[in-house]
Amino acid sequence: MSVISRALTIADLRVLAQRRLPRVVFDYIEGGADAERTLRENSRVFDDVTFRPRGAVANRAVSLRTTVLGQRFELPFLLAPIGSSRMFYPRAEERAAAAAGDAGTGYILSTLSGCRLEDVKAATRGPAWYQVYLVGGRSVAEKAIARAKAAGFTALVVTVDTPVAGNRLRDPRNGTAALLSGNPVAMLPHVGQVLTHPRWLAGFLGDGGLMQFPNVVMPDTGPMRYESVGPALAQSVVTWADLAWIRELWQGPVVVKGVLVGDDARRAADAGAQAVIVSNHGGRQLDGVASGLRALPEVVAAAGDRIEVLMDGGIRRGSDIVAALCLGAKAVLVGRAYAYGMAAAGKPGVTRAIDILRADVERTLKLLGADRVEALDSSYVDLSRMREGSG
């Protein structure tokens, strides 16, 4: 039996990821902004949800299928966009997309991918969405959107919570930019942590080494390099007005990611989006904002029947997914949960993360007395502890 197959929880995969990765890369996955209050609260808030099961119900089989944007998914969760995933494992985005497709669910590719979007789409049998930043400016983004359309991506995810990059203190302390700069003088103080993880280093160098982003092609210099991302984000703020030209160019479903208040859900619907994702960027942007689960009911109420609602943030167990579905999410996005698996073992690690969550969701449904995820509603949860915590 392999080490990966012995992992019983996402926490087990996290331990394996930490062993394989140098600190600089593990902390890139693990860390959040500033004091990391929101990062911690994203997971902790699920402790405030109490389930209300129905007894004496025999569900020999349960359905985990759901429909989002008219597409059928075999699982009620998708793999979230994670930038720079190729730092974790060679060809990481392609491997994650393949694992998602094998499981019958979707993969969302970040603009800041280390793999060409065409290669990622070709790697999966399932639906793939493209998450867009306007880094490089409108003309650069337009070319990437057109490529995504031609490659067969079926939805465009527009992230609206990154007017600047969050203050992620672990990165400068670990020398992230220095290690990926290629400058020997800048790298020297931090190189020890990398040399102590030779298995990761061999894979990283064998995969091409220093990071660049082939889906952000600058007119004069070619693919954007890692160290250029921060300044580029600050010059590429997405506004509600941008959704007009994005929709016109895309001619397909648009999803707005980074919504935490009802007003923004209504604005997204007014601007023609088909769905929103309740998200605080995994606690990596503004510290001190609400957790995804706590913000979810307000956004669901504001969305009504006009627009679909998804959620991410803090998902570590299948019961977390079920709690979000009970509160009105059509599906959830998982990020760190599968990133740990990827960092531990590549595609088999992602597959193991998916299998763990799938089994958790199925077991939770059976214990709740529900025969399918689409039957879940707020009657299956008691939120009194969560409401007390918000007062």
Q: Please name the residue that has the structure tokens 């099961």.
A: 53
SS3 label, residue 262: helix
Cα–Cα distance measured from residue 179 to residue 302, given in angstroms and rounded to the nearest whole number: 44
DSSP string, 69-98: TTEEESSSEEEPP-TTGGGTSTTHHHHHHH
Q: Which residues are catalytic?
A: 281
Phi, psi (rounded to 5 degrees) for 332: -125, 165
Burial class of residue 336 in the structure, from the number of CB atoms within 10 Å of its CB (0-12 exposed, 13-18 middle, 19+ buried): buried
Enumerate residues 6+ apart whose C-beta is below 8 A from 340. Answer: 10, 13, 14, 16, 17, 29, 349, 353
Cα–Cα distance measured from residue 240 to residue 115, given in angstroms and rounded to the nearest whole number: 29
DSSP-derived pairing of the beta strands 50-51 and 381-382: antiparallel
Cα–Cα distance measured from residue 17 to residue 39, given in angstroms and rounded to the nearest whole number: 19
DSSP percent split of the chain into helix, strand, coil, nearest 5: 50, 15, 35
Residue 125 CB coordination number (10 Å): 12
Nearest 10 degrees: CA dihedral of 106, 110, 115, 120? 20
Residue 350 CB coordination number (10 Å): 32
Cα–Cα distance measured from residue 30 to residue 170, given in angstroms and rounded to the nearest whole number: 9
DSSP string, 164-228: S----THHHHHTHHHHTT--HHHHGGGTHHHHT-HHHHHHHHHTTSS-EEEEEEETTTEEEEGGG
Cα–Cα distance measured from residue 170 to residue 289, given in angstroms and rounded to the nearest whole number: 19
